[in-house]
Amino acid sequence: MNEPVFTLSAGPTTAPDRVLAAQARPITYHYDPAFLEGFRRTERKVAELFRTRQDVLLMQGEAVLGLEAAARSLVRPGMPVLNLVSGVFGKGMGYWLAAFGAELHELEAPYNDAVDPEEVDRFLAEHPEIELVAVVHCETPSGTLNPVGEIGPIAKRHGAMTLVDCVSSLAGIPIWPDEWQLDVCVAGPQKCLAGPPGMSLMTVSDDAWSAIRANPAAPRASFLSMLDWKEQWLEGGKFPFTPSVVDVHGVEAACDVILEEGLEASFERHAQAAAACREGARAMEIDLWPVSDEVAAACVTALAVPDGLTDTQVRDHCRARYGVMISGGQGAGNLVRIGHMGPTARSLYPLLGLAAVGRTLLDLGAPVKLGDGLEATLQALSKIEQVV
Amino acid sequence: MNEPVFTLSAGPTTAPDRVLAAQARPITYHYDPAFLEGFRRTERKVAELFRTRQDVLLMQGEAVLGLEAAARSLVRPGMPVLNLVSGVFGKGMGYWLAAFGAELHELEAPYNDAVDPEEVDRFLAEHPEIELVAVVHCETPSGTLNPVGEIGPIAKRHGAMTLVDCVSSLAGIPIWPDEWQLDVCVAGPQKCLAGPPGMSLMTVSDDAWSAIRANPAAPRASFLSMLDWKEQWLEGGKFPFTPSVVDVHGVEAACDVILEEGLEASFERHAQAAAACREGARAMEIDLWPVSDEVAAACVTALAVPDGLTDTQVRDHCRARYGVMISGGQGAGNLVRIGHMGPTARSLYPLLGLAAVGRTLLDLGAPVKLGDGLEATLQALSKIEQVV
Amino acid sequence: MNEPVFTLSAGPTTAPDRVLAAQARPITYHYDPAFLEGFRRTERKVAELFRTRQDVLLMQGEAVLGLEAAARSLVRPGMPVLNLVSGVFGKGMGYWLAAFGAELHELEAPYNDAVDPEEVDRFLAEHPEIELVAVVHCETPSGTLNPVGEIGPIAKRHGAMTLVDCVSSLAGIPIWPDEWQLDVCVAGPQKCLAGPPGMSLMTVSDDAWSAIRANPAAPRASFLSMLDWKEQWLEGGKFPFTPSVVDVHGVEAACDVILEEGLEASFERHAQAAAACREGARAMEIDLWPVSDEVAAACVTALAVPDGLTDTQVRDHCRARYGVMISGGQGAGNLVRIGHMGPTARSLYPLLGLAAVGRTLLDLGAPVKLGDGLEATLQALSKIEQVV
Amino acid sequence: MNEPVFTLSAGPTTAPDRVLAAQARPITYHYDPAFLEGFRRTERKVAELFRTRQDVLLMQGEAVLGLEAAARSLVRPGMPVLNLVSGVFGKGMGYWLAAFGAELHELEAPYNDAVDPEEVDRFLAEHPEIELVAVVHCETPSGTLNPVGEIGPIAKRHGAMTLVDCVSSLAGIPIWPDEWQLDVCVAGPQKCLAGPPGMSLMTVSDDAWSAIRANPAAPRASFLSMLDWKEQWLEGGKFPFTPSVVDVHGVEAACDVILEEGLEASFERHAQAAAACREGARAMEIDLWPVSDEVAAACVTALAVPDGLTDTQVRDHCRARYGVMISGGQGAGNLVRIGHMGPTARSLYPLLGLAAVGRTLLDLGAPVKLGDGLEATLQALSKIEQVV
């Protein structure tokens, strides 16, 4: 099987050359003083991306590890928890919260829409016992974004902590734990940060640490333990186990790339790439999955698959025929997704994605206005000050 | 802080250039057909290294993850378990087994010696209720090796399963799950295989799967779940979560390097490097930590630190002064360790390690016969048919 | 200055990851036995690409070095030489031939057309004294191709040797020294072979060697000497000077990539990419530079720049605004060029190039039918069995 | 054939990881603005290494190219030239000077000794017609160093230009064109700079340019032309031909490594590594080739091969048996050479080299005091403030 020519998936995504090169750096012993320095430097760089003064944890394992660790650490059996659901990742978090013993409440939005912060406010007012609100920032499977910047302060005002899945946001969409008063955030390096999958980049507030320390059910002496990292590493300088040296090298380089570019510049090009992609899709007469541009995420554009076709057909034809790897719906619906993450959120990548999807749809018998769509995408890109 | 010039630690160890290059390969989407093929190819290559027909799991997370997952999966609350302890890793496994609800029995050997299989046989004869025997193959922190090849069949004869920590053995010291009738083996890629840290390479027997499936306490829907990998990936072709693409690339390349060399050749040079190192240490009049050559592991030579000095002093001086990173005792005793793993188990690496340690000891005031030791090491190396 | 996002130039071109990785292999001593083996292996692989049994020389220095070396080696002062000119490279060769003492004859074709073999035949019939015919296979600066496969045998029939500049053809367009009876061919690795610039890949016939040995003006004891390589390296196993180890590693990997794919498959995709690009340009109403598809080269599409604009303007805007690096006219005319070389001769690269150029022309005020052009390109690509 | 485990040759030498990584950077078009910037940046960095305000030329081709180009550019037929010979490279330069038409004078020193500056002074006083003095700084094949810092001003005082072969000095041994009034210097990146072979790093004084411009025999419109680079690139911004992008990337990274370390620090560790190696060789009772420590070069230690053995035997056994690649005598005598260049001029590399050579000599039947020698080397290294 040939390697893909272009990876425009919803993550793991195309990584910059500097990240790849960093992953080829010699592997060192984890207690080598140069590695210890590098690990701490990486923590600080991740903190810069979050603009936070909270503790940063670099846990080993794809973001699912961080989410599970956070949920297990925060949820005390019997704890009243509000889970906000607007997609499959939110839904999945609910299963975990319940499994870990929470008294689970859920507010649901359709999977092509976002949670309404006023509804959250009302619910919390009616349920002052809620101690924790769980929310997904970007529901990557359906390309939508929840207003975490509004939800965080609401929760805090009602005395509840927040557990935020911002796996695909970091470095591409603003996510500010301090300003938004978020307690635990879990991001992944393999999305807008364009690093290697394999780590959970987390922020933890003092409130969260207090709750976790007080929670007898919080994992201890476990690969899933946030407390081990806090007590052994952050406070004691000893790793709970061998960190994944290669991923750490990759994550640091990915942070460097974004920090040198500037966070604002990165946010802007993610937003512009997504807007140009939506513009093109509309002109091509492909339905956008999100109910409105307001709820559409900047890191991925979800396109409805026309009736009679499946996401898998489209994704597989696109890859097999044109060498372009996009993502399917991952359970969120009959949709395909073009990622705008890291390097693919610049230059002509949105055009590439649309061209591949559009031509694929034609090949599979679905009518699309291919030329109009591509022209519209380029038109949108041509108006951007700096696409490179 | 300068990067180390030579990494002769007990792992993560120096990786071959091919492994580093593989880690710089483009990151692909985890459902890219090329990655799917590569993942399965890597499973088969790991199976070849174990010479096994059992299931192979490539779990994400340093070997500690695999060990915790295995212990949690196998141990049913109240299950009678025998834990064999000859070092800190064995000791630590006992804490876990107990924490997960086992009725724990332990046989202990001094931390510079190995478990006696006859004692195991006697114990199991006296305790026919034992359902699981946990044992560490190579106690890396103290450089000793337990006779797992004898213990496995003994356990099986007594109707007990085995859980084997062979983290540092794979590719450097024979470990044969099928021939030795082992039920769960957990190896790490960052030792003799000389790949990236960040994965657990596991074999699982049918007996083990039966026990795990029957165990209500076995992790499910969790990062720690072996069952998720079995049911979703091995049987369903869906990853339970995003695999760490970069580590997988590195592990496959590391397998390729060893498979092209030949496992027997690899075993031989690990044994020879360790023997030459011990030869030199003796001539240098540094005490070897293991009680005898018979229990000394081929992948790491543990040297007693002279009275009045600490392992940290020796390790840090060696690194700061000579750029050579070795390992300390990691709780096993006042010892330092020179790794013979992957690329460092060939050529003049054993000499390098001894020269650095020997000169460090002189610098710190401990008398050693430096010239004699180095001469003896080279003498030993010169007798080897092929050190390259 | 940002790095380019896409390099679609006429070479040096985008190299495959395997080539880049090979260039990062440890640098070895040039007499290291592994390097000696690798150098000879690379010679054989280059011979395979040429399907030749002639000597292959891997001279150090971009193809201009090989061309100069060949011209100096072959041209005896006073030697009657026919130089075929259909572009700037052919023209430049004439300056050299004259400077090195040839009695120069030239047949010229317009710079958007090809040499007519019948005219060559007639000329040689009228000038039986001609000892050498110089011809450029692909005139990369103007994107045209000369019928070297016809010219070679004609020259041989008339008793003349041939000196062929096939710098940009190798691995992308058939070039057969043996079948076509060519005496000296000079190719570059940085074009369709998609390797590093910095070497001249040459084939030399026995006739050519005889002529060179007999030529007192042929360079000897010089960086420009083909004879040094023949006598010292090919016949004596000693390098005339240190080879560029890194380039050799890159060239070998580039050969591997093509040989594993298959030469025919590579030729096919170069031809298809160029055809799709021309198709799109026509639909976009951009004038193709070559007078006809018959003389258009498969490795690069030359597009006429509309009146009122310069090639530099177009090239620079395209790079600055969209991050896509294309090539200008390099003296051949007011044209820009989209390369189809190595990795860029597959998948949607032709679309990328046209989108960038087309949108740039619009930005600069020249009317193009952007959507129609892109649609036509994709239409053409969709008909290809395998674009990946 | 296995790759070497350690490359301790006299160049090409072991390159730092950063250099290798830079060589794997994407290949760009040579007129890409980012490459243009990088090329100029590299020129400035090379100028920094030479601490010069003169023009720097980065010619393509191993240093032999630069030496030939310089000799051809400077030598006018009939020009009286003094060539200083203390080894095979000096001797070879004489052949060229004569071949290019110089009226050649030579002062010779034994091949294990250095040129005497007073003798040069006397000769030039007696031959005021001499217009050019050619001298080799480090005679790498015999591990000796000529006092170029004294010879430069002497020549200038007598009205003669200097052509300096400092191929192996740059970044390891002070070489100051401005302070020492040198006219053309030619260095190689693959020695102490530890970059890729394949380029000539040159400095050219205004006096030299005047002479070259006035020389009708100076190469023009040629790969060997310094004038082309001056007029087309330095003054016109156009490359005479495609530069070797990959080598340029590697050279820049190699400059970065040294400039970040600091030139003085680099000089010091080269000197210390060589001194420790000589110390060890003496204790081992191997004869040093250079007649005294004063004339011994810091970048390579030449060791006399005992009677009855050849340099090839020693070199090949050392490589085949221990995986350590050293250099033979390259025509300078029956000697082998351990390089101290770039990364190998630090840490325990000198010990490694001596251990390999010493044990090889024992294997081949020559008596050496192996232990004493290694002990002495380590003793010397232990006295250095900072070997890492």
From chain C, pick out residues whose CB is under 8 angstroms from the CB of A378. Answer: 355, 358-359, 370
* The pLDDT of residue C1: 79
Q: How many residues does chain A have?
A: 388
* The pLDDT of residue B386: 67
Closest CA to D298 of D181, D171, D184: D171
Q: Which of residues 283-322 of A touch B (CB under 8 A)?
A: 319-320
Strand runs (DSSP E) across chain B, as ranges?
6-7, 55-60, 80-85, 103-108, 132-136, 138-139, 144-145, 161-165, 184-187, 199-204, 300-304, 324-325, 335-339
Percent of chain A surpassing pLDDT 90: 98
Rounded Cα–Cα distance for residues D362 and D365 (Å): 5
Give the chain D residue nearest A24 (alpha carbons): D21
Our CA-based measurement puts residue D362 at a distance from the nearest CA of chain A, in whole angstroms, of: 34
pLDDT category at A221 given cuts 50, 70, 90 is: very high
Q: A246–B197: do the CB atoms touch at under 8 Å?
A: yes
SS3 sequence, B208-249?
HHHHHHHCCCCCCCCCCCHHHHHHHHHCCCCCCCCCCHHHHH
Amino acid at C119: E
Give the best residue of A347, A370, A382, A386 to mutate against chain C (max C CB count within 10 A): A347
Rounded Cα–Cα distance for residues C1 and D249 (Å): 15
Q: D24–A26: do the CB atoms touch at under 8 Å?
A: no
pLDDT category at A199 given cuts 50, 70, 90 is: very high
Q: Which residues contact A209 (CB under 8 A, 6 or more apart)?
A: A55, A230
Rounded Cα–Cα distance for residues B17 and C331 (Å): 43
Write the residue in A2, A351, A381 that is nearest to C388 by C-beta: A2
With an 8 Å Cβ cutoff, is D21 touching chain A?
yes
Q: C27–D34: do the CB atoms touch at under 8 Å?
A: no
- Residues of chain B scoring pLDDT < 70: 386-388
Rounded Cα–Cα distance for residues B326 and B343 (Å): 15
Q: Which of residues 48-107 of A touch B (CB under 8 A)?
A: 60-65, 68-69, 95-96, 99
With an 8 Å Cβ cutoff, is D325 touching chain C?
yes
Phi-psi region at C327: left, alpha or beta (left = phi > 0; alpha = psi -120 to 50): beta
Q: C25–B25: do the CB atoms touch at under 8 Å?
A: no
**Beta strands D132-136 and D161-165: pairing type?**
parallel
* The pLDDT of residue A385: 74
Give the chain D residue nearest B348 (alpha carbons): D322
Question: Residue D93 belongs to what H/E stretch?
Answer: helix D88-99
Using CB atoms, list chains with 3+ pairs below 8 Å to chain B: A, C, D
Write the residue in A12, A19, A95 that is nearest to B245 by C-beta: A12
Given a cut of 80, is residue A388 above it in pLDDT? no
Q: A21–D25: do the CB atoms touch at under 8 Å?
A: yes
Question: Residue C44 belongs to what H/E stretch?
Answer: helix C33-50
CB atoms closer than 10 angstroms to residue B126: 10
From chain B, pick out residues whose CB is under 8 angstroms from the CB of C24. Answer: 21, 24
Q: Which residues contact D159 (CB under 8 A, 6 or more apart)?
A: D128, D131
The helix/strand/coil state of D336 is: strand
- In Å, how far from its chain's centre is CA B327? 14
Q: D25–A26: do the CB atoms touch at under 8 Å?
A: no
Query: In sequence order, what DSSP letters do the residues of C327-368 get, joined into one string?
Result: B--TTS-SEEEEE--GGGSSTTHHHHHHHHHHHHHHHTT---
Compute the half-sphere exposure of residue B16: CA atoms within 13 Å on the CB side of its CA: 26
Q: C33–D241: do the CB atoms touch at under 8 Å?
A: no
Total beta-carbon pairs less than 8 A apart between chain B and chain D = 99
- Residues of chain D scoring pLDDT < 50: none
From chain B, pick out residues whose CB is under 8 angstroms from the CB of A196. Answer: 27, 244-246
Contact A172, A273 (CB under 8 A): no
Q: C28–D7: do the CB atoms touch at under 8 Å?
A: yes
Q: Using alpha carbons only, what angle is made at residue A241 by residues A236 and A245, rounded to the nearest 5 degrees?
A: 105
Rounded Cα–Cα distance for residues D73 and D65 (Å): 12
- What number is the ipTM of this complex? 0.97
Give the best residue of D14, D261, D272, D375 to mutate against chain B (max B CB count within 10 A): D375
With an 8 Å Cβ cutoff, is A5 touching chain C?
yes
Sheet of C103-108: strands edge to edge? C55-60, C199-204, C184-187, C161-165, C132-136, C80-85, C103-108
Our CA-based measurement puts residue D22 at a distance from the nearest CA of chain A, in whole angstroms, of: 8
Closest CA to B32 of B210, B207, B248, B225: B248
Our CA-based measurement puts residue A53 at a distance from the nearest CA of chain D, in whole angstroms, of: 31
Give the best residue of A20, A29, A226, A315 to mutate against chain B (max B CB count within 10 A): A29
Given a cut of 70, is residue A387 above it in pLDDT? no
Give the best residue of B14, B17, B23 to mutate against chain C (max C CB count within 10 A): B17
Q: B4–A197: do the CB atoms touch at under 8 Å?
A: no
Phi, psi of C386 (to 5 degrees): -145, 105
Which residues are B19's β-sheet partners? none
Contact C76, C103 (CB under 8 A): no
Taking residues A53-63, report their average pLDDT: 98
* The pLDDT of residue D118: 98
* The pLDDT of residue B1: 79
- Residues of chain C scoring pLDDT < 70: 386-388
* The pLDDT of residue A1: 79
The helix/strand/coil state of C194 is: coil
With an 8 Å Cβ cutoff, is B351 touching chain D?
yes
Taking the C-alpha atoms of D175, D179, D183 and D184 in order, what is their torsion angle to the nearest 10 degrees?
20
Give the chain B residue nearest C25 (alpha carbons): B17
Our CA-based measurement puts residue D18 at a distance from the nearest CA of chain A, in whole angstroms, of: 8
Closest CA to A73 of A230, A179, A234, A242: A230
Q: Which residues contact D262 (CB under 8 A, 6 or more apart)?
A: none
Contact D58, D69 (CB under 8 A): no
Q: C34–D3: do the CB atoms touch at under 8 Å?
A: yes
Q: D374–B359: do the CB atoms touch at under 8 Å?
A: no
Q: C324–A347: do the CB atoms touch at under 8 Å?
A: yes
Our CA-based measurement puts residue C158 at a distance from the nearest CA of chain D, in whole angstroms, of: 31
Give the best residue of B68, B190, B200, B246 to mutate against chain A (max A CB count within 10 A): B246
Write the residue in A96, A224, A247 that is nearest to B246 by C-beta: A247
Closest CA to C279 of C340, C196, C329, C219: C340
Write the residue in A6, A24, A355 that is nearest to C378 by C-beta: A355
b/e burial code for range A112-126 (CB count within 10 A of at least 16 → b): bbbbbbeebbebbee
Amino acid at A25: R
Amino acid at B343: P
Taking the C-alpha atoms of D31, D37, D40 and D42 in order, what is their torsion angle to the nearest 10 degrees?
-110
Q: C382–A362: do the CB atoms touch at under 8 Å?
A: yes
Q: Which of residues 145-164 of D touch C (CB under 8 A)?
A: none
With an 8 Å Cβ cutoff, is D33 touching chain A?
no
Rounded Cα–Cα distance for residues B159 and B163 (Å): 13
Given a cut of 80, is residue A71 above it in pLDDT? yes
Give the best residue of D62, D97, D165, D193 to mutate against chain C (max C CB count within 10 A): D62
* The pLDDT of residue A168: 98
* The pLDDT of residue B32: 98
Write the residue in C13, C188, C223 that is nearest to D68 by C-beta: C223
* The pLDDT of residue B385: 74
Contact D6, B348 (CB under 8 A): yes
**A12 preceded by a cis bond (ω within 30 of 0):** yes
Closest CA to C251 of C192, C297, C206, C203: C192
Write the residue in C17, C24, C26 that is nearest to B26 by C-beta: C17
Write the residue in A3, A34, A61 that is nearest to B2 by C-beta: A34
Rounded Cα–Cα distance for residues C357 and C337 (Å): 9
Using CB atoms, list chains with 3+ pairs below 8 Å to chain C: A, B, D
Taking the C-alpha atoms of D113, D117, D119 and D124 in order, what is their torsion angle to the nearest 10 degrees?
140
With an 8 Å Cβ cutoff, is A346 touching chain C?
yes
Burial class (CB in 10 A: 0-12, 13-18, 19+), D334: middle
Our CA-based measurement puts residue D21 at a distance from the nearest CA of chain A, in whole angstroms, of: 6
